[in-house]
Amino acid sequence: MKKNFKYLLIILAIILFDQLTKGALVHLITGRVPVAAPAWELIPVPYLMAHVTNFFNVVFTWNPGTSFSLFRALGESAPFVIVFATAFVIGLILYYMVRRADKYERLPLAFIAGGALGNLIDRVRFGAVIDFLDFHIGGAHWPAFNVADVFICVGVGLYILNWLIARRRCINASKK
């Protein structure tokens, strides 16, 4: 357990950072600290907070669905399916990270789990995820995202990089 303690701290730090950034945005817009679902009704969407550069804005949006509107066909049961499916996958990731992952896999898995838990907290509290980072080129905008999404993407990227490096080592070792 001692070898995993630092990764559990990383997960908690990611959750805290994610929730603090989202909470600060809601507070800046409404003057209130977001507690639960009523915050959903307080903020018009999308809400442009700041034009930072010619390619980046800080906006405020609610994402009630998943990436690219997956699970939309489930109708009213979609939020429950999303919450339970996300919690199940996070559980699998944490189990693998604690029990089976090698030392190079633990940090990427901690990033993924921390980001996923940050977004899961939003889904449970508000029924949607708060997104606010808006990158664009001219009028073409990438879908808004948040700090948790950044950690998930970086974690997946590191995990893939780890897999590629390990694969290359295996191939080189088999040639000798």
Closest among 148, 158, 153, 125 to 15, alpha carbons compared? 148
134 as an active site residue: the answer is no
Phi/psi region, residue 96 (left: phi>0; alpha: psi -120 to 50; beta: rest), is alpha
Asked whether residue 69 carries a pLDDT value surpassing 60, the answer given is no
Q: Are 110 and 152 in contact (CB under 8 A)?
A: no
pTM over 0.75: yes
- The single-letter code of the amino acid at 88 is F
Which pLDDT score is estimated for 40? 56
What residue ranges do the domains of the chain occupy?
2-175
Range from 4-8, 47-51, 168-172 carrying the lowest mean pLDDT: 47-51
Alpha carbon distance 29, 16 (integer Å): 20
- pLDDT at residue 38 in the model: 55
Which of 18, 122, 134, 149 is an active site residue?
149
pLDDT digits 0-9 by tens, 98-128: 999 999 999 999 999 999 999 999 988 888 8
Buried b (16+ CB within 10 A) or exposed e, 97-111: beeebeeebbbbbbb
What is the rounded average pLDDT for all residues in the chain?
87
Return the percentage of the chain with pLDDT > 90, whole number. 54
Lowest mean pLDDT among 70-74, 122-126, 163-167, 168-172: 70-74
| pLDDT score of 133 | 94
Q: Indicate which residue of 18, 122, 131, 134 is catalytic.
A: 131
